[in-house]
Amino acid sequence: MTAIARELDPERRDVDVSTDASTARRPGRDLRGPGRSPRRSGYAKRTPGDWVVLVVAVLLGFFIAVPFLLILVNSFKSPADYNTSGPLTLPTEFYVDGIVAFWERVDFPEKLWNSVFISGLVAVFAVLISMLNAFALGIGRVKGRLWIVVVILLANMLPQEVLLYPLYFMFKQVGLYDSQWAVIIIFTVIQSAFGTYLLASVYSTFPKELLEAASLDGASRWQILWRVVYPISRPTLSVLLIFFFIWTWNEFLIPLTFLVSNGTQTVPVAITVLQGDRLMDVTTTSASALLGLIPTLVFFLIFQRTLTRGITAGAVK
Amino acid sequence: MKHTRTLATAASLAAAALILSGCSGGDAGGDENTLRLWHYEGADSAMGIAWERAIEIFEDETGATVEFEEKSFEQIRSTASQVLNSDEAPDILEYNKGNATAGLLSSEGLLTPLDDVVDEYGWGDLLAPSLQTTARYDENGIMGSGSWFGVPNYGEFVQVYYNKDAFAAAGLEVPTTFAEFEDVLQAFVDQGVTPLATSAAEYPLGQLWYQLALTEADRQFVNDYQLYENPVDWEGDEIGYATETVKDWVDAGYISTDASGLKAEDAGVSFISGDAPIFYSGSWWYGRFTNEITDFEWGTFLFPEAELSPGSAGNMWVVPERAKNKELAYEFIDITMRPEIQALLGNNGGVPVAADEADITDEKSQELIANFNALNDMDGISFYPDWPTPTFYDELNAGLQELVNGTKSPAEVQQQLGEQYQSGVDDIVG
């Protein structure tokens, strides 16, 4: 998913540059020199070097997209078609039975809701906790903050296989095994570890003048956080929100372990139902992968638009 | 303040989600009249169909309800030890046979020993000795002896699938001897066709290699290789013959050198598409071939002149130690062993362990089950080459890939495999 994000991000900004009339504030524009509209400079001044970069970028984009394209092509192929022509050709007919079969077999809407529920809550909680932690570490400058960050980051650095058994025993003890809350709590902690690390370093460069001005005006710490720090860092927080959502969505091992009952399972866990002991069903598996991928893509595209606006609107003037 | 709204919306959505879901944790459910059942067979597979009928009969006869969940193979494989050690354990589940799976769980005390129940219901009489091997585990979790921990309901074995149309077009008969089999392969090569669909990146070539060793072997070799009764001679007649023959077949063009990079799926698809006329692989392909091969006739035969072939009982019913309704679980197992359910399994392309051939009405299935029963009557089920150690599957594939590529000679491959096998076995036996 991060690859797609990287790929789409600059493109989106580009679109915004050319459509948004009030771009004067953007620092990026200054580089293009005065007196030229951004649109014209984009086309007239392309040097051979630019073209090389463009071609390389397109090629790179293509290779990143290949697995996705394969999934797309094979999702709409009948097994017979696949058997005769292999995975690389276009389907001869528009075949949706694979998608329908998977949808019904795993009760897809239920899995979709579970995934949205878990990923959504994790994203919100983790952003909140990251912000509070980072406020203390980055702006509050707690003693020994480096070591605190290192300890927090352990949650990210340890492979999940290592965490699995301790977590299993802990959650069994408190009666949350086979509960979505176990997964929500675990990922809130794991994601907020990364969020804390990132935000703490962002906040450590936070303009001192703003904070001082706020305290001179008599703002309490709580007010500084919500009235000054939060609005200014909101774009960063939104990016974190998106990543936490997508990362949690794609998690497999921990949901697989903790969500025992079918009714609680997420989309990636449901997809494994198609892999048998020795056989695999390529077309249905592709269909399931497609169904699993679409929601994150939609989520990303929807939020990406609001986000790019947010990045420019929230900056310090 | 549009952006505050975005985040606020996200937050309120989350809050709404909280309220809606309430407490969504699963109910463990320990109701006396409920059987919690898990298996991982697709609803339209032979086992899926047969067991669905078994559930109906069970509900009719006992008045209990069955709470069935279709699990994924992957989930049961990777989380069984955690689930079975918790209150979420079902009353009965389909679980993988083998030392690393059922054996391990039985040695950890997570599975109920079934000796008394097996005697009471007489399941032992229904299952051939080699099928019982994977159902019994000793205190170290090694299969072959000790208490019963599972009851297999279906079997699997490896055989030769052949394209009848291609055989007819080439004027070839089903070979009955090994020499005839090689003649058939040669005849196809003469026509410019690579006869054998196989893959060295996954199990098919490994099983063929094992089958070739078995043509030279007796039961004691299988016991030595699989149950560690005596050390295996990796330079000996059996394995030497297998490795040399694979090499010869590659050189003769019976096996394509491309096989080293192919997966089982690729090999199966090349048979389905008619590219390769012969495919040596397991009965698990049977249902798929029946459904997906439409433009030619195909049939099966046991490997010519072999008295031993790879195969085993299938995955089996186990009853977790923490199951709440064990009696109901036993009754359910008994229903699945009935001739009626076994016949249903057989008529849908599965391999029943206790079916009367007379009950099998489907013509194609008769052939399959006759092959299995013939193998069973010879006590010919010999398990799989990768079973002895947890890492041998990958090691064997890697070795055979080098053999097919020609980067190593048969002697080198054998020596390497022998060392890897021995070190793995030493870890287990101690």
The whole-angstrom separation of Cα B44 and Cα B229 is: 41
How far apart are the C-alpha atoms of A213 and A236, rounded to whole Å?
23
Cα(B324)–Cα(B36) distance, integer angstroms: 9
A101 touches chain B (CB under 8 A): no
Q: What is the pLDDT along chain A (317 residues), one digit of tens a residue?
A: 444 444 444 444 443 333 343 433 444 434 444 444 444 445 567 888 899 999 999 999 999 999 888 888 888 888 888 877 777 888 888 888 888 888 888 899 999 999 999 999 999 999 999 999 999 998 887 888 888 888 888 888 888 888 888 999 999 999 999 999 999 999 999 999 999 999 998 898 888 888 999 989 998 989 999 999 999 888 889 889 988 999 999 999 999 999 999 999 999 998 888 776 666 778 888 888 888 888 888 888 887 776 665 555 454 54
Give the distance, in angstroms, between the CA of residue B262 and the centroid of all CA atoms in the same chain: 20
Euclidean distance between CA atoms A282 and A293, whole angstroms: 16
Long-range CB contacts for residues A149-154, cutoff 8 Å, separation at least 24: A149/A196, A149/A197, A149/A200, A152/A193, A152/A196, A152/A197, A153/A193, A153/A194, A153/A197, A154/A193
A241 closest CB neighbour out of B10, B40, B42? B10
Q: What percent of chain B has pLDDT over 70?
A: 93
The pTM assigned to this predicted structure is 0.79
Q: Is A89 on the interface with B (CB under 8 A)?
A: no
Q: Which amino acid is at B336?
A: T
DSSP state of B111: B
Q: Which amino acid is at A138?
A: G
Structure tokens of A89? 């050709």
Distance CA B389, CA B425 (A): 6
Indicate the average pLDDT of chain B. Answer: 89
Q: What is the predicted pLDDT for the residue at B319?
A: 97
- Take residue A204 and report the two structure tokens written for it: 């450590």
**Model pLDDT for residues B261-288, shown as the tens digit of each residue:** 999 988 999 999 999 999 999 998 998 8
Check CB contact under 8 Å for A82 and B269: yes
Tell me which long-range contacts A148-154 makes (C-beta under 8 A, separation of at least 24): A149/A196, A149/A197, A149/A200, A152/A193, A152/A196, A152/A197, A153/A193, A153/A194, A153/A197, A154/A193
Residues of B in contact with A238 (CB under 8 A): 3, 6-7
How many CA atoms does the CB half-sphere of A225 hold within 13 Å? 16
Asked whether B85 and B110 are in contact (CB, 8 A), the reply is yes
Are A177 and B10 inside 8 Å of each other by CB? no
Q: Does B322 touch chain A (CB under 8 A)?
A: no
Rounded Cα distance, B114 and A16, in Å = 69
**Shortest distance, CA A250 to any CA of chain B (angstroms):** 16
Neighbours of A292 (CB within 10 A): 22
Give me the phi and psi of B114, to 5 degrees please: -110, 15
Out of A180, A257, A278, whose CB is closest to B284? A278
Test B7 with A234 for CB contact under 8 angstroms: yes
Specify the amino acid at residue B219: R
Query: Chain B 86-145, CB below 8 Å of chain A: which residues?
Result: 86-88, 96
Residue A101, token pair as written in the block: 């079969």
Q: Contact at 8 Å (CB) between B186 and B377?
A: no
B268 by Cβ neighbours in 10 Å (0-12 / 13-18 / 19+) ranks as buried
User: CATH classification of A98-311 is 3.40.718.10, yes or no?
Assistant: no
pLDDT-derived band of residue B43, with 50, 70 and 90 as boundaries? Answer: confident
Structure tokens at B228: 């560690």
Sign of CA dihedral A53, A58, A59, A65: positive
Decide if A45 contacts A250 (C-beta within 8 A). Answer: no
Residue type, A146: L
Instruction: Check A121 against B26: CB less than 8 A apart.
Output: no
Dist CA A305 CA A238 (whole Å): 11
Q: Which H or E run contains B302?
A: none
Chain A interface disruption, residue of B2, B3, B154, B202, most A CBs within 10 A: B3
What is the three-class DSSP state of B300? strand
Residues B427, A49: Cα–Cα separation, whole Å: 60
* Cβ separation A260–B74 shorter than 8 A: no
Interface of B with A in 376-415 (CB under 8 A): none
Alpha carbon B321 to its chain centroid, in Å, reads 25
Q: In angstroms, rounded to a whole number, what is the distance separating the alpha carbons of residues B210 and B306?
A: 11
Residue B236: pLDDT over 60: yes
Q: Does B269 touch chain A (CB under 8 A)?
A: yes
Residue contact A105–B25, C-beta within 8 A: no
Contact A83 B269 (CB under 8 A): yes
Asked if A256 lies within 8 A of B40 by C-beta distance, the reply is no
Q: Do A124 and B10 touch (CB under 8 A)?
A: yes
Does B264 reach chain A within 8 Å, measured CB to CB? yes
pLDDT in tens, B79-105: 898 999 999 999 999 999 988 889 989
Which residues of chain A form CATH 1.10.3720.10? 98-311
Q: Report the DSSP beta bridge partners of residue B157.
A: B311
Tell if the CB–CB gap between B79 and A282 is shorter than 8 Å.
no
**Angle, vertex CA A110, rays to CA A104 and CA A111, nearest 5:** 90
Residues 6+ apart with CB under 8 A from B4: A231, A234
Alpha-carbon distances of B298 from A237, A280, B26, B164, rounded to whole Å: 61, 21, 47, 5
Provide the chain A residues 297-316 that lie in CB contact (below 8 A) with chain B. Answer: 306, 309-310, 313-314
Chain B CA closest to residue A308? B3
Longest CA span, chain A: 76
For A216, the token pair is 């001179």
